[in-house]
Structure 1
Amino acid sequence: MVNKLRISRIILFVFLILGTLPWMIVRAQDIDYADGPEPIGLWDSSDSLDSVVGVAVNDDSAFLAISGFGVRILDVSDPTNPMSVSSFELESEVKAITYSADKIYVGVGSELKIFDVSDPMNPSSITNISQHSTVQEIAVDGSYIYIADHSGSLMIATEAGGNLYSTLPNANDYWCYDVVVSEYYAYTATSSQGLIIWDISDKYNPTIVGGSSTDETAYSITFYGEDKVIVGGLKGYLGIFDVSSVTDPTLLDSITVTSDIMAIQTHENTAIAADYTDGIVTFGLTLDTLTPGNCLLPDGERAHDVEINDQYVFGAMGFSGFMIWDLDEAIKSFGVGFPFYDWILLGTSGIIFLTLVRYKLKKRK
């Protein structure tokens, strides 16, 4: 009987190891995503040199930043058949695009250009604001514009007054790729510094109050709930940070995926990211843990940007054009992060454990 008990314990140990090993492997190596749905809609330029690098969406309109061309506006009221309604060329490389209150804000080389798109069929220029270097990303909050200005770091501007200051101290130490804003704080994705948090209560003199204290180069950032951000970066870095204390953000979980995370959005307990190698990919966020999910294009496509609304996922897919997916279909299943057979192994381990406990209790009686 003693030998049987020992054998049972060995079996329990083996099941526990087998149950957790796939999870450890999946978090340490390249991700093998589950196959997600195909796009329901596609727009592709007739010019093979056009690369869709940015997307902003409002209601039935999608605004595309096209490197090598400029901006194209699509009617996406029928997501299965996006239709071009207008476009305009720009003289420098387009890098970023953001929509707010009937305007689009476009990063064109080292300039921020603002356009009125209240009539999507007839966009008109409002103003240009020169920056120090390449405009990587733009956030708008009320009348203030927050610019991820690469080597110029974080810049703040207004439509009427332009930049509110010339440059920040030690800007070269905080090269900026993305920015999101909440009340008195701006959260930036920076080169070699990861997450940097700025106090922006004084718009003319923003100051650094906290950071991630990592050496990860971050390319993208988004909010997750009220007091968390998700940061994506170079070589597939993804991290969830608790920023309830802006002076001391805490890393809750991180994972390394296939390639650079160029942009990221969240919907409830799912993150949707633009992966430069695997295309649009999803992650579960249950219990503040990143769980690999679906790849929306199993064959792999380069993704540059991603936007979502309540119904759809919109992807800027470089030379492959602009694609639309049904949101519910995109996030409805997660097939890799904690595999189904893992649950079977762990469940079996639990049954064996309870059986052993019951056996020992019977022997005592």
Structure 2
Amino acid sequence: MKALKLLIPIILAGFIFFSCGDGVVDPIDDVPTDLAINQYEDGKIELSWIYINPSDADTISFYVARKVGDQIWYENGWGANGNYGFNLDEETTSIIDLIPTDDTLVYAYKVRFWNHTTERFSNYSETIAYFSPFTSPTDFVSAQLSQEEQFISWQDNCIGEDGYKVDRKIGNGDWVKEYKILPANATDFLDNVTLFDSLSYRIYPYTGISRSERLEGNVFNSLAAPSNLETTILDVNKLRLNWQDISIGEDGFYIDKKIGYQDWQLDYAVVDSNTITYIDDFTLQCATMQYRVRAYKGVYSSNYSNIDTTNVILGLVGSTLTPGNALDVAIADWNVLHRTAYVADNYAGLTLIDCINPSQPLYMNSYELADRTLSADVIDNFAYVATQNSANTQGQISKVDIADELNPVLISTIYTQGIPKDIIVYGDFAYIAEGVNGLSIYYAASSLFFESNYPLSDARKLFFYSQYAFVANGLNGLSIIDVLDSNNPFQVSAYPTSGLTNDVYVENGMAYLADGENGLTILDISDINDPIEISQLETGGFAYGVCTEDSYVYLIDKENGLFVIDASNPVSPYVLGFLAMDTEPVSIQQSGSYVYITDNEGLKIVQVKP
């Protein structure tokens, strides 16, 4: 007992030493509580707190610290004068702060007080923060890496958060709050999961006791999807699919197939588990084929593999630059050993391309003309060429002997009434689409001379069938002109489309129009006096040229490329295949297994048939 009495003074002396020595003052444990933050109005938030002073004898004042985004804490006031939130009297338990309430920055606050009587600061309160609606994460994405792993990612939209928290729920179970706590600026995490679990996630940035609105996403953890799907063309009627099987325990694989722009054929084929290849047989002239594969087990199935796209008997086989700007093309098939493309090549004149080997078209020569060469047609040993001088509104037609293709000879020339945009020669006559001058007819059997004109507002392209000239008449649609009497042409009928009719082709009682933004427009002209629109097929750009063979329509879109369209049922045409082009195709002709396309680079040769 005597020893204990001696020890007590020593302990007290030590307590006094450690409390007061070196000027160190312990903070007050009591702190402001119940912090709240609310948007007061646009550009203003209100911060409030509660503190009840336990001693009437003590005088206190509050200090509010603020942190903006990734900046440091300002503990002794902020604002223009550096004294806002500083030394607030005891009766003040809230402040209004002027901040941008539509910002991606996080505005964080904490409060403490100074006891003037004891000359000590309290500890800080909990941190509270303002998260504007623009700080919320967006773009929830899940990617299944295996049957046991889900990679979860999102877009981080805020600056200055303490970190991210993730809540998770399995099926209809309870939420596991703060399932994951991640550092600031986090945008993803890898989650370990169980096969066939339905998972829900809530993701949000936090600072102190505050958070943004939560981003929610749902994931079903199924079989792992097949990967690296690719197709190999075995022959014109056969494809082989190969893929990588990374699932475990599947019953088999479903294969979906899509032809052109048609709908997917779901579960087109089914193969057994652990199979990684499939042979598809088909009979199509040409097509764009797409495939995708998924694993299945019972009623469950994986996500799809990558989609593999393959053009079958549809592809660019050859091309050549021309010296000018290729605007039109006519194909002359003299025999199996001689095929020449005659290109209206703008200022370069009439350019001849040897196409007997479509994979290697060869430039032969260019026949220069005085004006811009706009269009050409070839009959027997003669080329009929339409030109225009850019300085006036008239043009010329030139008849050129091409019996010796390397040495063309000019036979005859005549001025046109308007700008000759397109020329077709049929029998003894040349028919010219002359823009605002309409349709003009010229005798062409020997020397050229003018026969007659039928006025139209915007004659662009022509097609001749029977005794009729079908005229693509721009905004006025299609005009059908009877030219049986070359001296007295007259309009039989017309059909005004809602697009810009740039070209026309006629086959089997149907008129196929390249109709600008409308794509393909098909008219039934079985009654020549009363054309009837029966279908339209949009191509997503601007349809500019068209030709057909055996109900297959070859249509060029200036913004997209070549479309091969099956119009065997003209009421319901569909895109069978598509060849993207990054040039601007402006004319098209079909001959044999190929279509010949002119664009701003020159001549393209595309295979469309076996």
TM over 0.5: yes
Measured in 1, the distance between the counterparts of 2:577 and 2:476 equals 29
CA contact (8 A) 2:413 2:448 kept: no
CA contact (8 A) 1:102 1:116 kept: yes
Cα deviation digits, residues 138-169 of structure 1 (max 9, x gap)? 1111111111111110111112351102x43x
SS at structure 2 position matched to 1:252: strand
Measured in 1, the distance between the counterparts of 2:404 and 2:518 equals 39
SS at structure 2 position matched to 1:265: strand
TM-score of the superposed pair, with normalisation by structure 1? 0.74
CA contact (8 A) 1:280 1:306 kept: no
Cα deviation digits, residues 67-109 of structure 1 (max 9, x gap)? 2311111111111111122212223222111111221121211
Cα deviation digits, residues 11-30 of structure 1 (max 9, x gap)? xxxxxxxxxxx979xxxxxx
Measured in 2, the distance between the counterparts of 1:211 and 1:93 equals 31
1:140 to 420, 425, 437: 425
Q: Tell whether 2:515 aligns with 1:233.
A: yes
Letter in 2 for 1:270: Y
1:77 to 331, 352, 356: 356
Q: Tell whether 2:483 aligns with 1:200.
A: yes
Q: How do residues 180-195 of structure 1 correspond to structure 2 at under 5 angstroms? A: 180-195=463-478
SS at structure 1 position matched to 2:316: coil
Cα deviation digits, residues 189-224 of structure 1 (max 9, x gap)? 102210111111221111111111334321100112
The 3 A distance-change label for structure 1 pair 139 and 314 is same
Which residue is 2:400 aligned to? 115
Q: Tell whether 2:595 aligns with 1:313.
A: yes
Q: How do residues 243-258 of structure 1 correspond to structure 2 at under 5 angstroms? A: 243-258=525-540
Measured in 1, the distance between the counterparts of 2:403 and 2:566 equals 36
SS at structure 2 position matched to 1:302: coil
The 3 A distance-change label for structure 1 pair 38 and 181 is closer
Higher radius of gyration, 1 or 2:
2
Q: Tell whether 2:434 aligns with 1:149.
A: yes
1:177 to 460, 466, 480: 460
Q: Tell whether 2:380 aligns with 1:95.
A: no
Which residue is 1:56 aligned to? 330
Measured in 2, the distance between the counterparts of 1:258 and 1:112 equals 36
CA contact (8 A) 2:498 2:518 kept: no
Measured in 2, the distance between the counterparts of 1:137 and 1:307 equals 13
Letter in 1 for 2:545: A
TM-score of the superposed pair, with normalisation by structure 2? 0.45
Which residue is 2:451 aligned to? 164
Which residue is 2:604 aligned to? 323
What is the CA-CA distance between 1:280 and the residue it aligns to? Answer: 2.3
Which residue is 1:128 aligned to? 413
Give percent identity, aligned residues only.
Answer: 19
User: Structure 2: which 5+ runs fail to align?
Assistant: 1-260, 264-289, 291-308, 334-338, 389-394
Letter in 1 for 2:596: F
Measured in 2, the distance between the counterparts of 1:312 and 1:75 equals 14
CA contact (8 A) 2:458 2:474 kept: yes
1:281 to 549, 552, 563: 563
Measured in 1, the distance between the counterparts of 2:448 and 2:343 equals 27
Query: Larger % of strand: which?
Result: 2
Measured in 2, the distance between the counterparts of 1:259 and 1:306 equals 17
Q: Tell whether 2:502 aligns with 1:213.
A: no
What is the CA-CA distance between 1:43 and the residue it aligns to? Answer: 1.0
Measured in 1, the distance between the counterparts of 2:472 and 2:331 equals 22
Which residue is 2:552 aligned to? 270
What is the CA-CA distance between 1:235 and the residue it aligns to? Answer: 2.1
What is the CA-CA distance between 1:236 and the residue it aligns to? Answer: 4.2
Count of residue correspondences? 292
User: Structure 1: which 5+ runs fail to align?
Assistant: 1-21, 25-32, 330-365
Which residue is 1:242 aligned to? 524
Query: Larger % of helix: which?
Result: 1
Q: Tell whether 2:383 aligns with 1:104.
A: yes
Measured in 2, the distance between the counterparts of 1:65 and 1:259 equals 25
CA contact (8 A) 1:216 1:234 kept: yes
Measured in 2, the distance between the counterparts of 1:92 and 1:258 equals 35
CA contact (8 A) 2:262 2:574 kept: no
SS at structure 2 position matched to 1:218: coil
CA contact (8 A) 1:193 1:217 kept: yes
What is the CA-CA distance between 1:316 and the residue it aligns to? Answer: 0.7
Measured in 1, the distance between the counterparts of 2:523 and 2:497 equals 12
Cα deviation digits, residues 291-337 of structure 1 (max 9, x gap)? 123222x353210111111222211122x2211122216xxxxxxxx
Measured in 2, the distance between the counterparts of 1:303 and 1:39 equals 13
Which residue is 2:321 aligned to? 44
Measured in 1, the distance between the counterparts of 2:317 and 2:262 equals 32
Measured in 2, the distance between the counterparts of 1:91 and 1:97 equals 15
SS at structure 1 position matched to 2:609: helix
CA contact (8 A) 1:153 1:175 kept: yes
Measured in 2, the distance between the counterparts of 1:208 and 1:128 equals 28
Measured in 1, the distance between the counterparts of 2:499 and 2:510 equals 18
Which residue is 2:216 aligned to? none
Measured in 1, the distance between the counterparts of 2:542 and 2:349 equals 24
